Amino acid sequence: MSRVTLLRANRAGRASVVRRARAARRADGQIRQLVDAYLSSGSEDWSEGGVATRVEDLATGDPDRFWQFLELLLENQLGLNDLVALGRPLTSLLRYHPDLMTDGLASAARQSRQMRDALTAVDSDRVAPDVWKKVSSAIFAD
């Protein structure tokens, strides 16, 4: 490879890293906006495009971003209704992504009372029995 080719490849690589970093910052901003909206209005806004619907869509389609949402949300002191409202998206997360999220949720439940309260609202009939067994043992470990 010529020196010019290497320089171009290096610039393209740096540009790619910059684009990924910008996309990550945009995604972080979107997650923060969703947390703010959830806190201000809408754990029960199930209208099309409503906050709760967007949270459910994240849990189903983008588990990593849902996890970011959950971590940011649980930094706040939530009321029981808001925690219970997380049951539906958590059910979807465990149903559609059990291999990715079961251990993480069980670990978080052991560490956080709010997470345990949210997980008690999961519809266990819609989650695989082995997944629910692992999660419920973490919920009721106290």
Range of the domain at 75: 3-139
Q: What tokens were used for 46?
A: 């199930």
Half-sphere exposure of residue 81: CA atoms within 13 angstroms, side-chain side:
8
Distance between CA atoms of residues 89 and 107, nearest Å: 18
What burial letters (b/e) apply to 16-52, b meaning 16+ CB within 10 Å? eeeeeeeeeeeeeeebeebbebbeeebbebeeeebbb
Query: Measured between alpha carbons, how far is 119 from 15 in angstroms, rounded to an integer?
Result: 41
**How do residues 49-92 score in pLDDT, each as one tens digit?**
678 888 999 999 999 999 999 999 999 988 888 888 899 999 99
The count of structural domains within the chain is 1
Q: What is the pLDDT of residue 108?
A: 87
In tens, the pLDDT along 9-50 reads 556 665 555 555 554 455 578 899 999 988 887 566 656 667
d(CA 54, CA 28): 15
Q: Quote the pTM value.
A: 0.75
